[in-house]
Structure 1
């Protein structure tokens, strides 16, 4: 750290599986891990011993007494927004795991709390920060690839019935949705990060193979303001697991296939006929930085230590959350939904299923 910087003091709230990824990334980024917060003292102690945190606390209020700069919220989704509101009121910045909120209303409330408290919220969308994504963004901005045209964005994962039998999973009021909200959101966040504002979406969703309140698969057609068209599949019933993105531009096709994170080896660049010189532009550049929590936390901790705005802001996350809400709205109502349609008074502004109980009358899969 330089003289203008200080080493941020960080607490981790919730000590389940994803908290370990946050702890490792925070340590690599140079943060000081001060306290682990969990309502289960035994679990908090076991986590603290494993990752090297000196203190534990049962509540955020108790953790705040250790003079934290930042808390990373790693709890089930329904508590993300309430804990972030509490942390900001206690004077701390916040990092939120996905999804940052269960609804656009909650996201708006978080934005209002930022303004009221002067604190900041960062949302974990770590695929934005790998070298490949940054390189593609730079090439796209330079104009050498031409206009975006078409492609696809597939999250094809597999979760068995036992996964959904965990009490808080697959429930609208706890997870905010199924694979559209909780799994595919990372992939289509990267899609939106690269291709800019989406314009409208037509979607279908269903409960095809799992006993769960929510969908287990959704499929959408998305039109962007640029005119580009893509399909987006979000599935947790696909035996061969993969995450795929394809970007077709006028002068090249760029493809990414990985599972839960990528490095440069997961990308493929194919110039259009007559554009073979572009291959060199793709291979040039800095050494590979894989996507992942570490890549994003390096930027977050740098920003917190210097008093600048950390990525990804709530405003940055809004288009992604809005597309998730619109996908549900289109699938449930059977109508095409345009960006900006889901506002105050729209049932999907408050809850992803619009409280319309989709698929309630369908026979549950065996």
Structure 2
């Protein structure tokens, strides 16, 4: 099995699978930044569209373009594969890369179901072999702001977390859902709880730790889609804190927000698609010494949340042969909560952590076959077309 442990100082060979907007706008710039520092080189790109991969390679200075993932893996033998394709392809492509000995950095949402995630995790290398591992792109938990607040909460400086709010209220029009794979369970996996709000959900879990139960509601209020276009949930955490989670694509005043009320301070993050130190605010409770509050507000050098921030840490993990954050059980927790949110909303029940496993219909599909939410069975004419 090939890992970077056997060559900790050589340049890591990276490849990009899927050459659409997220690859060109986020992954390639992050890869190029590390390449400019000499620690990495982008050796190949893959896309089923020949013209698209040719343009991507020409614009990004990528030497080899392919339309076949298997061929690229065999010929280029990359150390790291960045998966930037629609969610329905993530499982197959991630497994192929892992079996070829490459580490994987896969765009969110990770895969369409917990069953798919567990199948991917089963293909990862053993801990004592140093990988390879598959990490999910959850870049909002990386950067100086999230790191600083995580430390303050973990160390108990702010006191016990009590109340939290997690909000992803964005706006998407009919043209957005005209893209054929959007708004469909079999191709997108889910609606805003899965495809949009999972970033803030993941950050909330990274700050507060394990959740214990969820009670949720979902609606399809505007868009003609299979999935929901709005959801709300009440989540209880293992430490006792209660949180509301709101995900929407119906909100003209777009915002992403997390607020955590602790015993000694309120921490609030307000942004849209990424955050820096200035997007965080800490309000001390009455009686907190001014000097202590000032120390809380000192975030240090500003490292914005970004693909680059996560990629740096991932590459460091590769060189050390260590499991990266946002992989394995750590990467699964957000998907498990989103799955539980859907089950709660569609079955009108409280769902507890660990409830959903093999044999549960929500384990293999986020709609769980629920009436009114599961896709309608294909007609004879549709099946024969």
TM over 0.5, yes or no?
yes
The match for 2:363 among 342, 346, 349 is 349
Shift of 1:361: 10
Q: Give 1:18's match in structure 2, choosing from 10, 18, 22.
A: 22
The partner residue of 1:310 within 282, 307, 324 is 324
- 1:47 aligned residue (56, 59, 62): 56
Whether 1:173 aligns to 2:186 is yes
Q: Distance in 2 between matches of 1:149 and 1:311?
A: 25
Q: Which runs of 4+ in 1 moved over 6 A?
A: none
Which ranges of structure 2 fall in alignment gaps of 5 or more residues?
377-385
TM-score (norm 1): 0.95
Aligned to 1:217: 230
The answer to whether residue 345 in structure 2 is matched with residue 327 in structure 1 is no
Indicate which of 99, 107, 110 corresponds to 2:109. Answer: 99
Distance 1:227 1:315 in 2: 21
Structure-1 residue corresponding to 2:250: 237
Change over 3 Å in CA distance of 1:239–1:306 after alignment to 2:
same
Where 1:29 maps in the other structure, the secondary structure is helix
1:192 partnered with 2:201: no
**Structure 1 residue 101 displacement after superposition:** 1.0
Alignment partner of 1:79: what SS?
helix
Structure 2 Cα separation of the partners of residues 6 and 305 of structure 1: 9
Structure-1 residue corresponding to 2:99:
89
How far did residue 188 of structure 1 move?
A: 0.7
What secondary structure is seen at the aligned counterpart in 2 of 1:102? Answer: coil
Asked whether the 8 Å contact 2:82–2:104 carries over to 1, the reply is: yes
| Contact 1:255 1:268 (8 Å CA) reproduced | yes
Where does residue 163 of structure 1 map in the other structure? Answer: 176
Q: State the shift of 1:81 in Å.
A: 0.9
The number of residues matched between the two structures is 362
After superposition, the C-alpha distances for 1:211-234 in whole angstroms (9 at most, x for unaligned) are 111000000000111110010001
| Contact 1:29 1:301 survives alignment (8 Å) | no
Are the equivalent residues in 1 in contact too, given 2:226–2:375 (CA < 8 A)?
no
Instruction: Supply the distance in 2 between the matched residues of 1:40 and 1:58 (Cα, whole angstroms).
Output: 7
Equivalent residue for 1:73?
83
Segments of 5+ residues of structure 1 without an aligned counterpart are: none
Instruction: Name the CA distance, whole Å, in 2 between partners of 1:360 and 1:5.
Output: 50
Report the Cα distance in structure 2 between the residues aligned to 1:225 and 1:91, rounded to whole angstroms: 36
* Deviations, residues 98-147 of structure 1 (Å, cap 9, x unaligned): 01111111111111111479521111110111211100111112211110
- For residues 306-348 of structure 1, the C-alpha deviation after alignment (integer angstroms, 9 at most, x for no partner) is 4332232121111111000000000000001000110111110
Contact 2:15 2:45 in 1 (8 A): yes
CA RMSD of aligned residues (A): 1.9
Alpha-carbon contact 1:207-1:359 (below 8 Å) kept: no
Report the CA distance between 1:87 and its aligned residue.
Answer: 1.0
CA contact (8 A) 1:206 1:359 kept: no
1:24 and 1:166 map into 2 onto residues whose CA distance is 25
Distance change (3 Å), C-alpha of 1:45 and 1:357 = farther
Match for 2:195 among 155, 165, 182? 182
Closer, same or farther in 2 for the Cα pair 1:177/1:361, shift >3 Å?
A: closer
Deviation at 1:360, TM superposition (A): 6.8
What is the match of residue 155 of structure 2? Answer: 142
Q: 1:57–1:229: structure 2 CA closer, same or farther, 3 Å change rule?
A: same
Give secondary structure in 1 for the equivalent of 2:19: coil
TM-score of the aligned structures, taking structure 2 as reference length: 0.91
Q: Is the Cα contact below 8 Å between 2:109 and 2:195 reproduced in 1?
A: yes
